[in-house]
Amino acid sequence: MIIVTGATGKLGRRTVERLLERMPAHRVGVSVRDPRKARDLADRGVRVRQGSFDDPDSLVHAFEGAEQLLLVSLDRTGEECVAGHRAAIDAAVKAGVGRILYTSQMGAAHDSRFQACRDHARTEDLLRATGLPWTALRNGFYASSALHFLEPARHTGDIALPADGPVAWTGHDDLAEATAVILTEGTHLQGPTPPLTGPAALDFAALAEIATEATGRPFTRTVVPDDAFREQTLAHGAPAPVADLLLSIFAAARNGEFTAVDPTLADLIGREPATFRSELEHAWGE
Mean pLDDT of 208-229: 97
8 A C-beta contact, residue 12 and residue 5: yes
Instruction: Give the model's confidence band at 187: pLDDT under 50 very low, under 70 low, under 90 confident, else very high.
Output: low
Which pLDDT belongs to residue 286?
67
pLDDT in tens, 238-249: 999 999 999 999
- Measured in whole angstroms, how far is the alpha carbon of residue 128 from the centre of its chain? 20
**Proportion of the chain above pLDDT 70, given as a percent:** 99
Q: How far apart are CA 84 and CA 281, in angstroms?
A: 36
DSSP string of 198-249, one letter each residue: -S--B-HHHHHHHHHHHHSS--EEEEPPHHHHHHHHHHTT--HHHHHHHHHH
pLDDT in tens, 54-112: 999 999 999 999 999 999 999 999 999 999 999 999 999 999 999 999 999 999 999 99
Mean pLDDT of 123-130: 98
8 A C-beta contact, residue 159 and residue 147: no
Segments making up each domain of the chain, as ranges? 2-140+172-196+261-269
Q: How far apart are CA 249 and CA 118, in angstroms?
A: 12
* 2-140+172-196+261-269: CATH number: 3.40.50.720
Mean pLDDT of 19-30: 97
Specify burial of residue 88 (Cβ count, 10 A radius: 0-12, 13-18, 19+): buried
pLDDT in tens, 197-207: 999 999 999 99
What one-letter code names the amino acid at 38?
Answer: A
Distances (CA, A) of 142 to 15, 90, 100, 227: 15, 28, 22, 25
Q: How far apart are CA 140 and CA 42, in angstroms?
A: 31
Which pLDDT belongs to residue 188?
75
